[in-house]
Structure 1
């Protein structure tokens, strides 16, 4: 294995609780090196899933957090000055392409539109990355796979994937887990008992009913784990829910009052 990507190997198994056939389907997609989009709300387990799959497939994972300042050069690389003069430095995408890693573009629609265009030749039959500034065409390693994630329910029309990008990818839908599975996850990850986990999940499920009305997003599984961790550390449930679940998702007094009511309903006053 190329020394450059050994640091990207995941040494121990990440905890992931499957909610459906996503593991089987991703393995089939990887066998064909099909580019994949993971679609789902914030904090529902998309990133944990790809970490688990990289570990399961024994492949290095190079993850890139996309933002509006991410340029094509940040992905593919650039010439930099050092003691030896002007030297080319591969970006994380180019490293993944050359060395055969899974490249994960997290929340890809946050990147500039002109940036995402560079992935098009990698996501079709060409499986190649043109480095225009270097005058090089990098053919993808046989093990390379491109994976992206985004939250389709939280994007404006100005921040959405172009159809020319979408049609190059397969897609796996992610949702917040069913009540029983989410309770199991919160127990395991937050180190709390079943009763506490059940109460936290109940609050989250009520908050998600406000999505699209009072909230852009309900309380995520990730937030439940944070709250559970505080409770297991000795913080009382009301304070834990306030810090980790209710205050981060809204500043509106009437919405916060409703969320606090959910907490009181499950944990008492």
Structure 2
């Protein structure tokens, strides 16, 4: 979904200056837009940060739209975006690439296959690092030089020194407090400018449901907006975990409710994802009062 964002003239000019007008390699990795920011300042600040060659850390609850935010920046800058999905298994090969056997003139040779970090650097495109605090603390320092003013790395597999091309930028996302996450060390955190990404609510959520789901019944849409508001409030009060208020899960429920009853759609999309019986009952009670 492409949105005509109402941006200030100076930001439009900045975007036009930095926007890639040539069809780049890896054009299939240019993502679709569609993120609806709760405040336009979020998008304005992100465009400003990336255009200055600085890194962005999107920080916020699960399902708030951080990945969609990053994809929208890829669309606005017309830049392909390589992705790294962090986990405890993330290693140097997952980030940088690996060696493999290949054939050249019928002879067996060792060939290096670049990973997402090397690809983004050498092609001057965007790099998205999802759930960056899921990686082991000893893994990410491998790319410290990529994330600071040097924009360089010595490839440990080839001993080649690689410097990022013009246009290279990094967007990372973080979910705090989840099982398996670790606090970012100061050296890594200081390489980013942080943007807090809150939940989408009210009129913007209503528009998002209308444009991104199959649900068309206005009354039902209003009820889902109210349900989302109640869930976000319960999360802020510590009554529910962040999973319960996921916008992604809510949109799934809206989609399903265009075919099956809304209560059952909420059960499948939201309630059944919750681990604690207390939370499941709480959300079902909210649902019963609305639908």
Q: TM-score, normalising length from structure 2? A: 0.84
1:79 equivalent to 2:105? Answer no
Residue 44 of structure 2 corresponds to residue 19 of structure 1: no
Count of matched residue positions in the alignment of Structure 1 and Structure 2 = 262
Q: In structure 1, how many angstroms separate the alpha carbons of the residues matched to 2:271 and 2:231?
A: 9
Q: State the distance in 2 between where 1:6 and 1:260 align.
A: 44
**Mapping of 1:24-43 within 5 angstroms?**
24-43=44-63
Partner of 2:27: 6
State the Cα distance separating 1:69 from its structure 2 match: 0.8
CA contact (8 A) 2:209 2:251 kept: yes
Q: 2:252 aligns with which of 201, 216, 226?
A: 226
Shift of 1:187: 2.2
1:188 is matched with 211
Q: 1:177, CA displacement in angstroms?
A: 1.5
Q: 1:93 and 2:117 equivalent?
A: yes
1:196 CA displacement: 1.5
Report the Cα distance in structure 1 between the residues aligned to 2:229 and 2:24, rounded to whole angstroms.
Answer: 45
Q: Look up the SS of the partner of 1:209 in the other structure.
A: helix
RMSD over equivalenced CA pairs, Å: 1.9
Matched, 1:260 2:284: yes
Q: Judge conservation of contact 2:33–2:73 (CA < 8 Å) in 1.
A: no
CA offsets 1:96-116 (integer angstroms, 9 cap, x no match)? 010011000011111122221
For 1:197 and 1:207, locate their aligned partners in 2 and report how far apart those are by CA, in whole Å: 15
Residue in structure 2 matched with residue 240 of structure 1 by the alignment? 265
Listed as ranges, the matches of 1:73-222 within 5 Å are 73-83=93-103, 84-154=108-178, 159-192=182-215, 193-211=217-235, 213-217=238-242, 218-222=244-248
| Cα displacement (A) at 1:65 | 1.5
SS at 1:152's partner residue?
coil
Q: Could you tell me the TM-score, scaled by structure 1's length?
A: 0.90
Q: Distance in 1 between matches of 2:24 and 2:98?
A: 21
Q: What is the distance in 2 between the residues matched to 1:154 and 1:28? A: 30
